[in-house]
């Protein structure tokens, strides 16, 4: 922020006169505000000190608001250590599965030009119309916090002309996305996705491979009620016929549609099939099915997909209403739905987007992919097995300065060899050190007090069985490693 136009705040002296200082508040000068807050705090802390109101024209009400505690933004959540441990284990399993299917990681910026999302996701989608976090930066560029990753992965593939060396690429990327939706369980404004994309393969087997990979990952994570829903949205050759048939069908039912669907009728009538408003669902119950309008190529693509899923024994549901909320899809769309999350039933969604490369100015290269909602997946996995917070393998309860000085190098050596060991850096009683070890969930505690130092032998207590074994203090690190099963 520029300080142009900011009058320097003058804070004179350290005593009560600091409160009487000539504080000039200027909205453009953050330093001034900081000093005002500081003075206000001083005045509150010392009875009798007086704060002179700022010389500006407005009363300084910000002082009061700024002192209240700051909370996170609505729809943005913290992932605290217990949950983060679960996220790490899900991510580890996911990267193993993705690696086995031949996907390599790509890491991309969180901020992109707004035009990228407007052109790919579609101007008339909910995401682009009302959910993006878009702003103009200092040089006047219109930028957006990515609401999804697919457009950015395609942008990178085109920008670096990766297709020129080898058009067939399999990428995955994991990270935060931003959509200003109405927050509720399973729906956040900052959420995380695991994205997988296959470029350069038009075959339905690529779509099937994505579904198999999703099913495999969910199985490994213990998600038992995941059901794939599949559909075909046709292609630019056959979809216009369906669109016309749908509009004819809707013409007689206009008055039963919600305001959003009336608008969608002009911009994106297929989305009406996906509307969750009960009146709209009822009005479109007998709408024509897209599958009846597929051209020969799209029909064959969808048949091969179903045949391959059948051959693999993967149960799926054909869902004619699965149109998805992004405009770039053609042919296959799919979602993995579960009953675990109530209204937010889709834990993953994706499909084929053969036209997107061209829309973004690249060559005509087919593509298909999916994104898993990481937050939703973590909630389902946590509900299945609970969040287990691991504790240190050993806690060193060193009593007194001499024991602390002796034990600290052992702690450092254990930590540096990859063993989670912990101790208190304060001289506390054995009782409070044991309490701390219990709170951390330590598996074992090494106790060293005056007697143990004199005998040059510590006591290693198992926190579950309460059994104690002697540990020579001259070889403490080696012996601890042996007892912890970490010396192999």
197 binds ligand HAM (CB under 6 A): yes
Instruction: Name the minimum Å distance from CB 383 to ligand HAM.
Output: 15
| Part in contact with ligand HAM (CB under 6 A); list of ranges 219-227, 370-378, 385-393, 420-428 | 370-378
Q: Of residues 375, 379, 422, 452, which one binds ligand HAM by CB under 6 A?
A: 375
Contact 359, 328 (CB under 8 A): yes
Site string for ligand HAM, 335-364 (x = CB under 6 A): -----------xxxxxx-x-----------
Whether 302 and 332 have beta carbons less than 8 Å apart is answered as yes
Name the burial class of residue 362, with classes exposed (0-12), middle (13-18) and buried (19+) by CB atoms within 10 angstroms of its CB.
Answer: middle
Other CB atoms within a 10 A radius of the CB of residue 143 amount to: 16
Task: State in angstroms the smallest separation of the CB of 369 from ligand HAM.
Answer: 3
For the record, the structure tokens of 260 come out as: 């959003």
Candidates 25-33, 92-100, 181-189, 246-254; binding stretch for ligand HAM (CB under 6 A):
181-189
Count of residues touching ligand HAM (by CB under 6 A): 26
Which of 373, 392 has the CB closer to ligand HAM?
Answer: 373
Q: Which of residues 306-325 bind ligand HAM (CB under 6 A)?
A: 325
Minimum Å distance from CB 408 to ligand HAM? 45
369 is a contact residue toward ligand HAM (CB under 6 A): yes
- C-alpha distance from residue 100 to each of 62, 228, 335, 345, 448 (Å): 55, 21, 22, 27, 48
Distance separating alpha carbons of residues 234 and 283, to the nearest angstrom:
23
Per-residue DSSP letter, 8: P
Please, which residues have CB within 8 angstroms of residue 195's CB and are 6 or more apart in sequence? 148, 149, 150, 153, 171, 172, 173, 174, 369, 370, 371, 372
Which of residues 228 and 458 has its CB atom nearest to ligand HAM in the complex? 228
Q: From the list 32, 36, 193, 268, which residue makes contact with ligand HAM (rule: CB under 6 A)?
A: 193
By CB under 6 A, is residue 129 in contact with ligand HAM?
A: no
Closest to ligand HAM by CB, 121 or 411: 121
The widest CA-to-CA distance across the chain, in whole angstroms, is 94
From the list 31, 21, 33, 35, the residue with the least C-alpha distance to 58 is 33
Among 103, 199, 370, 395, binds ligand HAM (CB under 6 A): 370
Instruction: For the CB of residue 325, give the shortest distance to ligand HAM in the complex, in Å.
Output: 6
Side by side, which strands form the sheet with 468-472?
421-423, 394-398, 444-448, 457-462, 468-472
Nearer to ligand HAM, 9 or 373 (CB): 373
Asked whether 441 and 390 are in contact (CB, 8 A), the reply is yes
Q: Are 198 and 357 in contact (CB under 8 A)?
A: no
268 scored as a contact of ligand HAM (CB under 6 A):
no
List residues binding ligand HAM (CB under 6 A): 148, 150, 179, 181, 186-188, 191, 193, 195, 197, 325-326, 346-351, 353, 369-371, 373, 375-376
């Amino acid at each position: 922020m520029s300080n142009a136009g900011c009058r320097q705040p003058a804070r004179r002296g350290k005593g009560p006169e600091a409160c009487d200082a000539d504080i000039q508040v200027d909205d453009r000068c953050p330093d001034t505000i900081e000093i005002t807050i500081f003075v206000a705090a001083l005045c509150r802390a010392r009875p009798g000190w007086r704060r002179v109101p700022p010389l500006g024209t407005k009363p300084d009400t910000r002082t009061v608001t700024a002192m209240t505690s700051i909370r996170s933004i609505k729809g943005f959540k913290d992932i605290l250590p217990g949950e983060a441990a679960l996220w790490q284990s899900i991510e580890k399993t996911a990267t193993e599965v993705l690696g086995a299917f031949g996907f390599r990681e790509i890491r991309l910026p969180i901020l992109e030009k707004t035009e990228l999302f407007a052109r790919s996701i579609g101007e008339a989608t909910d995401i682009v119309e009302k959910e993006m976090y878009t702003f103009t930066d200092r040089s006047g560029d219109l930028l957006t916090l990515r609401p999804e990753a697919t457009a950015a992965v395609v942008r990178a593939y085109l920008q670096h002309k990766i297709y020129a060396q080898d058009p067939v690429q399999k990428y995955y990327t994991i990270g935060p996305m931003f959509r200003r939706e109405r927050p509720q369980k399973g729906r956040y404004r900052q959420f995380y996705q695991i994205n997988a994309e296959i470029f350069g393969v038009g075959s339905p087997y690529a779509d099937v491979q994505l579904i198999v990979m999703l099913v495999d990952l969910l199985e490994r994570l213990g998600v038992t009620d995941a059901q794939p829903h599949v559909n075909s949205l046709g292609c630019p050759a056959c979809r216009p016929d369906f669109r016309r048939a749908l509009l004819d069908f809707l013409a007689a039912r206009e008055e039963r549609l919600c305001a959003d669907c009336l608008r969608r009728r002009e911009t994106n009538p297929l989305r009406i099939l996906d509307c969750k408003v009960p009146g709209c669902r009822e009005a479109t119950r007998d709408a024509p099915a897209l599958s009846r309008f597929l051209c020969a190529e799209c029909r064959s693509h969808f048949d091969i997909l179903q045949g391959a899923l059948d051959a693999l024994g993967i149960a799926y549901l054909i869902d004619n209403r699965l149109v998805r909320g992004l405009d770039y899809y053609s042919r296959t769309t799919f979602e993995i739905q579960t009953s675990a999350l109530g209204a937010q039933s889709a834990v993953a969604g994706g499909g084929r987007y053969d036209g997107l490369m061209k829309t973004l100015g690249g060559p005509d290269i087919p593509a298909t992919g999916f994104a898993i909602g990481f937050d939703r997946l973590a909630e389902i996995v946590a509900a299945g097995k609970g969040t287990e917070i691991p504790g240190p393998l050993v806690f060193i309860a060193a009593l007194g300065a001499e024991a602390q000085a002796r034990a600290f190098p052992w702690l450092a050596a254990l930590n540096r060899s990859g063993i989670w060991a912990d101790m208190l850096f304060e001289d506390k009683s054995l009782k409070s050190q044991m309490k701390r070890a219990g709170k951390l969930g330590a598996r074992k505690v090494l106790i060293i007090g005056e007697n143990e130092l004199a005998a040059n032998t510590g006591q290693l207590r198992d926190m579950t069985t309460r059994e104690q074994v002697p540990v020579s203090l001259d070889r403490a690190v080696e012996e601890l490693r042996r007892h912890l099963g970490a010396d192999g």
